[in-house]
Chain A
Amino acid sequence: MKNKIFALSTLTLALIAASPAWADPAKVIRIGVATVGTGGKPVFGGSSAATAATRGLIEEEFKKDGIKVEWNYFKGAGPAVNEALANKLLDFAWQGDLPAIVAKASGLKTKILLANGTLGTTYLAVPADSPAKKLEDLKGKKVALFKGTNGQLVVNKVLDQYGLTEKDFKLINMDTATTDAAIATKDVDGAWYGSNIFQLVDRGVARIIWSNKEGPISLTRQTHFLVTEDFEKANPEITQRVVNVLVRTAADISKPENADKVLQEWAKSGTPYSSWKKDYNGGADLKRRSSPLLDEFFYNHYRDAVQASLKFKLIRKDFDVNQWFEPKYLNQALKEQKLENFWTAYDAKGNPKGGK
């Protein structure tokens, strides 16, 4: 009996001591990033969140309040961010459309605050000396894809356009670093990439045989910045200030005169300056792709993405995107910073609204 009481007491103590990590939010803001730099470096590029992280702008904002900002860069990309969110280890996250949709469909309580890196490019590359010249040439071949990331949704949409499915290829789930090595050693016949493909192309390792750069806007991938519902409810003021910083940073990196500096900063991630330059049309696309607006295009893209995810059996449950987005912090930031008309809003089809 004495032993049982002893065991029970230990158990009870453990449970009492257990409390969610966000219970003391005023001390730390935990941000998850669904990528890492080359070689696992804690640096990334391609968004205002990346610039804010590199420049320490959110840290600066909360320095006077003694609030620590903790950036977590996940090698496992979006799925690893989801795992951390599900275990209540993050307050904010930067990640792509598909992983966030999968998490939301499985019941994770999050709110999308702003767009943070839109119109993402996708490339299909093969080893430089491969005879493959077009997507169809890889049918039945080994093709690497980082499943669970926003690339997977684009790939499914692209294949659908060609009347193909994942099953027409030997799709191998690989993270970015493993894919780079596999293309170099020709362990795979092809691989789906983002802007980081250019460093392999420049080194003569890979060759691009398909890209969405000239394709329809529906084949692009989007990234966003989200907050957990728990944190947002408990800390609306902190949430607003984080959004304020990101909007201010987005405006800064959207200015043509800053393009060179921004791309150089993003090159710290290990993706060379030349790659960013090519991916962003020499910097000309920076303003369009850095827009934080939750415009009709963005809403519609996520609605389509949910339906496509259902179609491709990437999720099992439908949900309402309108309820998922929380634009009030973005609208407040745009108003305060007088940026309501700085970026062009796009309609559902991706055309500029009001002819702007």
Chain B
Amino acid sequence: MIKRLTPIAASLLLLSTVAHAADADALQKQINELQKSLEALQAQVKEQATAKASGEAAAEYATKDELQGLTADLENYKYQVQRDQDTKTAKSTRALVVGGTVQARAGYNSLATNNAVTDNRKTSFDIPTAVLTFTGNAYKDYDEGRNLTYALRFGYSPQSTATQLLDTSNFNLLDANLTYQILPTISPDTGRLAVTFGQQLVPFGLEAAATEDLKPVINNAQFVGRLGFGQRQIGIGLSGDLWPEVDYGYNYRAPVFQYIVGLVNGNGPNKSDNNDHKDFIGRVAFTAPAEYNSWLRQLTIGASVYLGKQNLAIGADRVGQGAKDRYGIDVSYNHHPFGFTYEFVKGTDGTVSGTKAKPVFGELKSQAHTATFFYNFGEQFVKGYRAQGRYDDWWPVSYQPFARYDSFDPNTSKQNDKVNITTAGLNIFFAETTKFQLNYNRRDDQATKVKSNEWLAQFQYGF
């Protein structure tokens, strides 16, 4: 550029020598101005060339300073990770997930509680449950997903207020089991088969082993507690499914046929069997083979059976064994935004009366109906929707009003002894693991001819 501009300046100088003498000064002035412009242009060109060169270098190469900065960052990071691991990190021998669920409740009951230790109580604050969970894998099969997993769950529950003089609440072992996936789990297209050994929930019907989206009510249906499904059992169970309907377009898997068979002690958790009879559990469920976008999605019909024996005693004397049989059928239709469940359960329990020398054996038959309808406003139960990329601690706030009718007849041969509970409520899901529940229970006890109203407000939070 400089070379090209120099001849121009020389030509101008030559022109100036042949110009009229009177114009010499003016021409000289112009030449000086042109010279200045030329120098400015030269400086500008040089500056641009330098900037371009350094820009290219900056785009392609890291400088030594930048590399040293990066190295220092890495060293600092390594130090911090090592230090935190040594001093501030909980460790376990195998993969471990620690979790839990806690409920904090306020309640009002129009029917006052009166007993040896309780005086005319209608209201109470309670912590009905606090569960601490440890789960993880004991062996992970990278090739086919035949994993061995474990679950250990402890739960706090308050003692019955009828006899409570002191704080005798306890923290018991709830679940302690190992599960092995017998069939590969690597592909959703194939059926599953798993065996679970140890202390576990009884997979009877819907309510006894329901997940959150099928169980919107604070209190369990009456049959769960009255027929013994509220407590864990120790034993072994096989669970699996066949003919899965997989809709990859919606990441949806619904097996057409699900089955569970198992043997358990039958006398509850944390103790050895009290007889040599092992109780049998069986369940089958058929789900409509439908794509995600079908109205038949998640329509399931199931049947469950529990065939067991229980020791019978007169006073402190054992006199034999009686039946402990349960039969149930259920229907569930969980089709966002609404859901419906219905369950019918029949129970047969051996009874004994008379004396030890002359026992009289009999049977007590009971039955229960439970129907629940719920509607969701919000996206809490749309799995793909709530798994979003967001900067903040976002969670789709959802509202779930529901109604339930629950009836339990403790003795079908006796008239007017049913207890009917009608519940209306609202669940508000406002954070990933936290919900607020409000339930109104209208209880009609036909045996005592007492009707009562109960209000429960509860926060349930998990971690």
Chains A and B form a bound pair: yes
Interface residues of chain B, those whose CB is within 8 Å of chain A, are 142-143, 186-188, 247-252, 291-294, 336-338, 373-375, 377, 379, 382-385, 387-391, 401-405, 420, 422, 424, 442, 444
Further pairs besides A10-B402, A79-B250, A87-B336: 17, Cβ < 8 Å? A3-B444, A4-B422, A7-B403, A7-B422, A11-B373, A11-B403, A17-B375, A73-B390, A79-B249, A79-B252, A80-B251, A87-B337, A102-B250, A107-B293, A148-B248, A148-B249, A314-B248
Q: Which of chain B's residues have a CB closer than 8 A to the CB of A73?
A: 388-390
Q: A321 — which chain B residues lie within 8 A by C-beta?
A: none
A-side interface size class:
35 or more
User: Given the interface contacts A84-B385, A106-B249, A147-B248, does A172 sit within 8 Å of B390 by beta carbon?
Assistant: no
* B-chain residues with CB within 8 Å of residue A11 when the two chains form the complex: 373, 403
Q: Which of A18, A86, A173 contacts B292 (CB 8 A)?
A: A86
| CB-defined contacts of A172 to chain B, threshold 8 Å | 186-187
**Of the residues B188, B250, B442, contact of A83 by C-beta under 8 Å:** B250
B64 CB to closest chain A CB (Å) equals 21
B385 & A152 in contact (Cβ 8 Å cutoff): no
A308 to B292, CA, bound (A): 21
Chain B residues in 8 Å Cβ range of A87: 336-337, 379, 382, 385
| B389 & A75 in contact (Cβ 8 Å cutoff) | yes
Task: Tell me the total A-B contact number using a CB cutoff of 8 A.
Answer: 141
Q: Which residues of A contact B385 (CB under 8 A)?
A: 72, 74, 80, 83-84, 87, 89
- What's the minimum C-beta distance from B252 to chain A, rounded to whole angstroms? 8
- Whether the Cβ atoms of B251 and A83 lie closer than 8 Å is yes
Do B250 and A86 touch (CB < 8 A)? Answer: yes
Minimum CB–CB distance for B341 against chain A, Å = 14
Q: Report the Cα distance A73→B386, complex, angstroms.
A: 10
The distance in angstroms between the C-alpha atoms of A136 and B420, with both chains bound, is 66
Distance in angstroms from A318 CB to nearest chain B CB is 15
A42 CA to B336 CA, complexed, in Å: 26
Q: How far is the CB of B453 from chain A (nearest CB, A)?
A: 11
> Contacts A6-B424, A42-B391, A173-B187 hold; do A102 and B382 have CB atoms under 8 A apart?
no
Q: Are B293 and A6 in contact (CB under 8 A)?
A: no
When the two chains form their complex, are residues B403 and A10 in contact, meaning their CB atoms are under 8 A apart? yes
Residue in B293, B390, B420 whose Cβ sees the most chain A Cβ within 10 Å: B293
Q: How far is the CB of A295 from chain B (nearest CB, A)?
A: 26
CB contact between A17 and one of B142, B293, B377 (< 8 Å): that residue? B377
Could you tell me if A106 and B373 are in contact, using CB atoms closer than 8 angstroms? no
- Cα distance, A70 to B186, chains bound together (Å): 36
Q: Is A171 in the interface zone, CB < 8 Å from B?
A: yes
Across-interface contacts of B420 in A (CB, < 8 A): 3
Is A82 an interface residue when CB atoms closer than 8 A count as contact? yes
Contacts of A37 in B (CB 8 A): 389
State whether the Cβ of A15 lies closer than 8 Å to any Cβ in chain B.
Answer: yes
Which of A41, A43, A75, A82 contacts B249, CB < 8 Å? A82
28 contacts between A and B (CB under 8 A): A3-B422, A7-B405, A7-B424, A17-B377, A18-B337, A18-B338, A18-B377, A37-B389, A41-B389, A41-B391, A42-B389, A79-B249, A80-B385, A80-B387, A83-B251, A83-B292, A83-B382, A86-B292, A86-B293, A102-B248, A106-B247, A142-B143, A148-B248, A152-B248, A170-B186, A172-B186, A173-B187, A314-B248
